[in-house]
Amino acid sequence: MSHALQVALEELGRDLLRMGTLVEDSIGRAIAALKGRDVPAAEAVIADDDRVDRMEHEIEARCLNLLALQQPLGSDLRRVGTALKIITDLERMGDHAVDIAKVVVRLGGQPLMKPLIDIPRMAEVGQTMLREALTAYVDEDKELALSMIQRDHEVDHLYGQIFRELLTYMMEDPRTVTQGLYLVFVAMYLERVADHATNLGEWVLYMLTGERKELND
């Protein structure tokens, strides 16, 4: 590997970490806005989505430029290709943070039907998955990439638990149906965040081994 290629790949890794941090922050802010019924904070999350989109385009341009000028081979080529896949999943995770923020806006500050416990827990696990998947990319850590499997199972379990609990509330009191459905949507968006984080783990494994492995069968 040439020195120029090594420097370019290191810069690419830092760019991915920056984009991941931005997405992780958006998810956290959206959940905080939901817990506090803070509509202005939710609107700020929605407005900031343009930053995620711009970063996706910038990293994509960097990858294409690197492919054209450095012509990486083997594992270096897989590293660049993996980055192109990762930014797509990161952008979609950012979209789900926006989806959650839009729920907050629609709720309009109304009191929550129940204290939020499992939904913030889902968000925390999803954020951890995102952070660790990108660390696995930068550090070339196969075991960390594989850890997405167990964490995804945890998120799926929480989603099922939330769905059943909210369904019980809605069946017992029809007045809770509208908000209950919105909270189910939030849980669904977080479950998808975890699925995208699992995709990141799969792409890291591809980068390291040259083989595609499904982690959420």
Cβ atoms of residues 157 and 194 within 8 Å: no
pLDDT tens for the chain, 217 residues: list them: 677 788 888 899 999 999 999 999 999 999 999 999 999 999 999 999 999 999 999 999 999 998 888 788 888 899 999 999 999 999 999 999 999 999 999 998 889 998 899 999 999 999 999 999 999 999 999 999 998 888 999 999 999 999 999 999 999 999 999 999 999 999 999 999 999 999 999 999 999 988 777 766 5
**Whole-structure pTM value:** 0.93
Q: What distances in angstroms separate CA 165 from CA 57, 171, 193, 205, one per listed residue?
A: 40, 10, 21, 36
**Domains detected in the chain:** 3-209 (1.20.58.220)
* Residue 24 token pair: 């992780």
